[in-house]
């Protein structure tokens, strides 16, 4: 089954397209991350668990914003609301259908303190984005792809930057590591599948650039080295987490 076959996929894509339609002045500064980026890079790969997501994740490269953005104002005018269930986590929005839209700023380009969670872009938008770790590599490893609707009557289409395979593996591995250090019950098979998908889809690309470039780059090398330590602990022969060993097995690709 490919991404877009489930009803949740359809509404998640609709939410993404709505956000892109709302933020046209800033499209060049947006990078699609998360599950929708994973599936755009790897929708032809068949794994035991079908691809699925119920939200949209967008990172902002705030260095390229030419004017002080009014992101929150634009979103509210388009019917998006700040997610009341995530009051302590800025950058979490929902549309009129209640579908989540998460907006992020990579911590490495933030000018705020290390404990800050909101990206202060200046008035009137004090905290439309959430500052998070793990997205640094997406600023380097990305390519422009076309994002279309899954609904035949919806003709909207946008060309935006989408995080590449190396960046997505780093992001997803960091997410799993955080979950393993916390509550194991939040870890699901989909997390492991989303780590497997990018390298299966772009195996030859990951053997060279941009993975090697990320590892050697002064600015991004630390995040890449941290990823290598995470991945060796998660899927190496001495993996201690029985829960992830089970997920790892379920994520193995199908063979004829």
Kindly report, residue by residue over 216-244, the tens digit of the pLDDT.
555 555 556 665 665 555 555 555 444 44
Whether 82 shows a pLDDT value over 90: the answer reads no
Question: DSSP assignment of 89-108, as one string?
Answer: STTEEE-TT--EEEEEEEGG
pLDDT for the residue numbered 227: 59
What 3-state DSSP class applies to 209? coil
Mean per-residue pLDDT, 152-177: 85
First CA to last CA distance, the chain: 16
- 248 or 158: whose pLDDT is higher? 158
pLDDT for the residue numbered 126: 62
φ, ψ at 143 (rounded to 5°):
-145, 155
pLDDT for the residue numbered 69: 67
Nearest CA to 15 out of 146, 149, 128, 144 is that of: 149
Alpha carbons 102 and 33: distance in angstroms, whole number: 10
Alpha carbons 105 and 86: distance in angstroms, whole number: 17
User: pLDDT tens digits, residue range 11-57?
Assistant: 999 999 999 999 988 899 999 998 899 888 876 666 656 667 888 99
For residue 193, give Cα distances in angstroms to 38, 153, 215, 217, 251: 10, 31, 24, 28, 5
pLDDT for the residue numbered 252: 47
* Beta strands in 4-85, from DSSP E residues, in sequence order: 30-33, 56-60, 81-82
- 47 or 128: whose pLDDT is higher? 128
């Amino acid at each position: 089954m490919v991404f877009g076959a489930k009803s949740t996929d359809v509404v998640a894509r609709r939410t993404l397209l709505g956000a892109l339609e709302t933020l046209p002045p800033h499209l060049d500064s947006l990078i699609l991350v998360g599950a929708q980026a994973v599936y755009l890079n790897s929708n032809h790969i068949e794994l035991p668990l079908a691809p699925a997501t119920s939200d949209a994740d967008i990172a902002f490269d705030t260095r390229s914003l030419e004017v002080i953005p009014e992101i929150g104002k634009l979103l509210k005018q388009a019917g998006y609301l700040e997610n009341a269930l995530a009051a302590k986590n800025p950058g979490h929005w929902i549309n009129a259908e209640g579908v989540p839209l998460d907006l992020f700023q990579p911590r490495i380009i933030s000018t705020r303190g290390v404990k800050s969670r909101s990206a202060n872009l200046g008035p009137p938008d004090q905290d439309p984005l959430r500052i998070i770790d793990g997205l640094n590599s997406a600023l380097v490893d990305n390519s422009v792809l076309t994002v279309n609707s899954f609904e035949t009557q919806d003709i909207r289409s946008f060309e935006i930057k989408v995080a590449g395979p190396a960046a997505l593996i780093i992001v997803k591995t960091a997410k799993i590591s955080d979950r393993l250090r916390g509550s194991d019950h939040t870890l699901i098979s989909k997390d492991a599948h989303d780590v497997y998908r990018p390298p299966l889809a772009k195996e030859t690309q990951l053997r060279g650039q941009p993975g090697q470039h990320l590892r050697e780059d002064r600015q991004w090398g630390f995040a890449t080295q941290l990823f290598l330590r995470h991945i060796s602990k998660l899927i190496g022969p001495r993996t201690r987490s029985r829960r992830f060993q089970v997920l790892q097995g379920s994520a193995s690709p199908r063979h004829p």
